[in-house]
Amino acid sequence: MKYTIEVDRDSCIACGVCYSTDVYHFEGDNDGKSKVINGSANSVSKGTFDDSSIDEAKRARDSCPVNAITIKE
């Protein structure tokens, strides 16, 4: 299944919950703000995936305290 993950980096508070919950899709930048692995570090970081780890991505999305993560299937 193909899905797209977006991180609104302007809303991100650099708490690290997403990339500690899901190491397959998220990483922190030099300031600790989240970005999608292999995604840009602009105001919105975006990536498309075709793997079986969508449940981890959804857990990270649901754990984000500022709702900065969107997943579209």
Q: For position 53, what pLDDT does the model report?
A: 94
pLDDT category, 41, cuts 50, 70, 90? confident
pLDDT in tens, 1-39: 899 999 999 999 999 999 999 999 999 999 999 999 998
Q: For position 1, what pLDDT does the model report?
A: 83
Q: Which domains does the chain have, with CATH numbers?
A: 3-72 (3.30.70.20)
State how far the Cα of 25 lies from the Cα of 51, in Å rounded to an integer: 10
For residue 39, give the DSSP letter: S
Q: For position 39, what pLDDT does the model report?
A: 86
- CB-based contact 3:56 (threshold 8 Å): no
State how far the Cα of 31 lies from the Cα of 34, in Å rounded to an integer: 9
> What global pTM score does this model have?
0.94
